[in-house]
Amino acid sequence: MRWIGSGKDISDLFTFAKGWVTGYASDMTSTTGKSPFWLGFRDALPFLLVVAPFAFLFGVVAADVGLDMLQIIAMSITVFAGASQFTALQLMQEAAPVAIVVITAMAVNLRLVMYSAALTPHLGHAVSWRRVLISYFLVDQTYALSVVRFEDQPQWSLPQKTAYYFGVIAPLYPAWMIASILGALLGTTVPEWLALDFAVPICFLAVVGPMLRSAAHVAAAFVSVALALALAWMPYGTGLLVAAIAAMMAGAQVELWRERARGDD
Amino acid sequence: MTDTQIWIIIAALGIGTFLIRYSFLGLVGSRPMPPIILRHLRYAAVAVLPGLVAPLVLWPEATGGQADPARILAACATLLVGLWTRNFLAAMGAGAAVLYGVIGINALVG
């Protein structure tokens, strides 16, 4: 499973997590004495700065799109994946058909398959109800911090790894819920000059920028933009789906070329 | 969007996302994934999000589909700062600063 954990897979989050975790790997004597749960809790704290504003904006935009409070809370609880929640909102605003909204928003979440695979060697032997909970809480942050910490602490038992994982989500999950509710409450009072329609594009671009770490990522993003614009005439948001599939293939192809080029050296 | 449609989206997206997360942890186990699938999954997010954003930047609904310098400049600033700093918050901040800066200047001049 070496290839899954290799740094190039995942966004800068991974690099950040690594820097953050190894930052105090040097005072190992103090970390080994700590309970894994609280270690996870502490590791996750800086991510509150990203999670809380993102969730707040989700609440604001969701209220603006016309979801009521119950629907906003329900979406944050059932989906619990920021980028795909925003994708769904955007397509709902464009009145795309239900199936297109769901498929496109799920496509954003496909990266979670990789995370699920990467965590399986560590947490896949937990009892089944715990694996259900672990799966439910699988997000960028739980994945990135856990994979780094588990490699850092190979002697950890399954209960210790599980405790760490739940420690990471412990501050983030309530923050996500509370901030999205606050956003929904305050969202309707936001004046028009704030141009909140543009919060979603800025949010997404801020997510995408740090992701463009290789030629393959840039190629995928480029194909995605070019085809989405060229196919904007296609009905019901299907142009975006076509663009996304082509972009994934472009990314994979460029990666393959680069690998071969390196192999020939 | 009717209420029913919204609830269907919430339920379907919730179930689908859970199954994605549960895929290996719950169903497949430790069997390795074929490299070709992995190679495509790596680009899933970066394949959807830019295409979703591009029309919103170029043809924003708030201006009736007219290209708006404030929004285009803000989008460029967000992307560039994101590329440069690799920091989500810095990128968001830069985008918001440019957006409101240009809107403010427009308001003063206009």
A vs B, Cβ pairs < 8 A, gives: 295
Nearest to A198 among B36, B74, B82 (CB): B74
pTM summary value:
0.77
User: What gap in Å lies between CA A233 and CA A257, rounded to an integer?
Assistant: 32
Cα→Cα distances A205→A53, A174, B95, Å: 15, 25, 9
Q: Where are the domains of chain A?
A: 2-211, 214-265
pLDDT tens digits, B85-94: 988 889 989 9
What residues of chain A, 162 to 191, have a C-beta less than 8 Å from chain B? none
What length does chain B have?
110
Other beta carbons within 10 angstroms of residue A103's beta carbon come to 19
Query: If you search the block for the tokens 């920091």, which residue do you land on?
Result: B87
Nearest C-alpha in B relative to A226: B51
Cα→Cα distances A88→A65, A195, A232, A247, B1, Å: 10, 20, 17, 20, 12
pLDDT in tens, chain B (110 residues): 899 999 999 999 999 999 999 999 998 777 777 888 888 888 988 998 899 899 989 988 778 888 889 999 999 999 999 999 988 889 989 999 999 999 899 888 87
Nearest to A135 among B21, B35, B55 (CB): B21
Cα→Cα distances A165→A150, A193, A212, A265, B25, Å: 10, 42, 27, 41, 14
Q: Is the ipTM of this complex over 0.90?
A: no
In contact, A198 and B99? CB cutoff 8 Å: yes
pLDDT tens digits, A219-255: 999 999 999 999 988 877 788 889 999 999 999 999 9
Residue B7, pLDDT score: 97
Residue B89, pLDDT score: 84
- For A153, the 3-state DSSP assignment is coil
Asked if the Cβ–Cβ distance from B13 to A216 is below 8 Å, we say: no
User: What gap in Å lies between CA A19 and CA B28, rounded to an integer?
Assistant: 31
